[in-house]
């Protein structure tokens, strides 16, 4: 089984209440699965991915993703940079 859809993400930077959030990106697959980590030929595996920045979403949706990313960053106790 698989879940159809796309992946979105954004970077969060900082150590205080005033966090900096990057633009939301979106990864869509043309086929198969997205493999960013593999032991043999690590440079291959994601050639089936189309990355869009900013994500092809409404400004409201991108804002919700950015705010959620900040909440997750704080909840996990992250410092410096996380993505």
| Structural domain includes residue 2 | no
In the chain, beta strands by DSSP E: 7-9, 12-14, 20-21, 25-29, 49-52, 80-82
Looking at residue 5, its pLDDT comes to 80
pLDDT tens for residues 40-79? Answer: 665 666 677 888 999 999 999 999 999 999 999 999 999 9
What domain range includes position 34?
7-82
| Structural domain count of the chain | 1
pLDDT tens for residues 4-41? Answer: 788 899 999 999 878 999 999 998 888 776 666 666 66
Looking at residue 37, its pLDDT comes to 64
Contact 21, 70 (CB under 8 A): yes
| Structural domain includes residue 32 | yes
Quote the CA–CA distance of 83 and 40 in Å, as a whole number: 24
CATH number assigned to the domain comprising residue 51: 3.30.470.20
Contact 24, 9 (CB under 8 A): yes
Looking at residue 18, its pLDDT comes to 87
| pTM for the structure as a whole | 0.79
Contact 82, 21 (CB under 8 A): no
Looking at residue 42, its pLDDT comes to 57
| Structural domain includes residue 21 | yes
pLDDT at 82 > cutoff 90: yes
**DSSP letter assigned to residue 71:** H
């Amino acid at each position: 089984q698989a879940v159809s859809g796309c992946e979105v993400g954004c970077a969060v930077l900082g150590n205080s209440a005033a966090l900096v959030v990057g633009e939301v990106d979106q990864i869509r697959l043309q086929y198969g699965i997205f493999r960013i980590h593999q032991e043999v030929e690590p440079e291959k595996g994601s050639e089936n991915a189309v990355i869009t920045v900013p994500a092809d979403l409404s400004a409201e949706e991108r804002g919700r993703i950015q705010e959620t990313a900040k909440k997750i960053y704080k909840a996990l106790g992250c410092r410096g940079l996380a993505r």
